[in-house]
Amino acid sequence: MLELDDLHRRFGDVAALDGMTFAVPPRTMFGFLGPNGAGKTTAMRAVLGVTSLDSGSIRFAGAPVDDRARRRFGYMPEERGLYPSMRVLDQLQYFGRLHDMDASAARRAGEDLCRRLGLSERLDAKVEELSLGNQQRVQLAAALVHDPELLVLDEPFSGLDPVGVDDLSQALAERAAEGATVVFSSHQLDLVEHLCEQVAIVDHGRLVATGSVSELAHGGVIRLAVRVAGDADGRWADALPAGARRRSVAADGTVVVELDDERDSDAVLDAARAAGRVEQFGAARRRLSEVFREAVRRDSPPAAVEELHAR
């Protein structure tokens, strides 16, 4: 378990972290979300000890994080960086050794990773001689070489082509399956929804929502997606039973109804049936992108674009 507890950090007049608090359960893929400037990078840097905190504490596996603990962490900063003129394997060995590995183990781990990432042919190449895609693979390898217990990646998917996204997703999922805790930030919310079990959404240096992706999609209110044949405007929902509210109407006439109590769903179904043939009736699951927009209090896009999932 990685715990961030009441983190504060100011840069001049700007509070990058303003009481940020959340926990990452062990052995999960954890999405760290927030608009630009929300404090994600500062929080990750604080976990890695790259930025100091004004106040607050960070714990991992129950103990406060110190330099020794951090050497069991792997880090991929948003601004990628490697020694341009150092050879791939030498570089991986160096990073491994900085994380407490001995020389031969670090070299073996570097070779092994390169094989898995398809870099076996380029072990002796200088990083600057590699293609951009291969440089990104080496970057990932540099974060993984010491087999970290916690992997922190800042926008790891930005700038990757779709194949690169798939490769990285797979590599991260493998690590999580092997028992590592993987935390990454991303603006690609569909990807996060697909990959992560849990997320935290932050804004203005504070946590605004956290939980499992399904919990957040549920959002504490019951939602139904109902479509009645031939009613493209969702008119049938003008008169909903007590305890049910029309939330939105999609272009195809699907109405999203919010309920205070799931026992009211029968009444909604009755109302729909009374209006015509019910084409669709099911739980509406919010997309993570919608959850995100609501959480950070940015205006939701018009209902027409709102996407719905029948459970």
Partner 1 sequence: MRRSWWTATGLVARREWNERIGARSYRITTVVLVAAVVLAVGIPALLSGSSKPHKVGVVGGAQGIATVRAAGAVIKQKVDPVPYASLAGAQRQLRAGHLSGVYVVGRRVLIKQAPASGTSSPALANAIAQLGAGGAHAAAIAQPLPVHGLERAAKPLPTRLTGMAVAILIYILVLTYGQRITSGVVEEKSSRVVEILLSSIRPAQLLIGKVLGIGATALVQVAALVAAFFIVASATGSNVLHGAAAGVVVIGALWMVLGYAMYCTMFAAAGSMVSRESDANNITFPVVIPLLVAYVLSFNVIFSASGPGFYKVLAYIPLTAPIASTVEYAIGGIGVLGVAISLVVSAALTAVLARVAAKIYENSILRTGARISLREALREV
- Chain residues binding partner 1 by CB under 8 A are 45, 48-52, 67-68, 70-71, 73, 75-77, 79-86, 94-95, 97-100, 142-143
Least CB distance to partner 1 at residue 10 (A): 11
* Residue 94 or 281 having the CB closest to partner 1: 94
Task: Report the 3 state secondary structure along 11-45.
Answer: ECCEEEEEEEEEEECCCCEEEEECCCCCCHHHHHH
* Residue 40 or 80 having the CB closest to partner 1: 80
Name the residue with tokens 């990454």: 184
* Residue 157 or 292 having the CB closest to partner 1: 157
Q: What are phi and psi of 296, to 5 degrees?
A: -95, 10
* Residue 31 or 148 having the CB closest to partner 1: 148
Least CB distance to partner 1 at residue 93 (A): 10
With 0-12 / 13-18 / 19 or more C-beta atoms within 10 angstroms meaning exposed / middle / buried, residue 126 is middle
Name the residue with tokens 């960086």: 81
Least CB distance to partner 1 at residue 52 (A): 7
* Residue 92 or 228 having the CB closest to partner 1: 92
Least CB distance to partner 1 at residue 98 (A): 5
- Which residue, among 288, 278, 285, has the nearest Cα to 309 in the 3D structure? 285
Q: How far is CA 135 from CA 87, 94, 143, 196, 208, in A?
A: 11, 16, 13, 25, 35
Distance CA 4, CA 48 (A): 12
Encoded amino acid at 259, one letter = L
Least CB distance to partner 1 at residue 17 (A): 15
* Residue 33 or 76 having the CB closest to partner 1: 76
Least CB distance to partner 1 at residue 159 (A): 14
Q: What are phi and psi of 80, to 5 degrees?
A: -65, 150
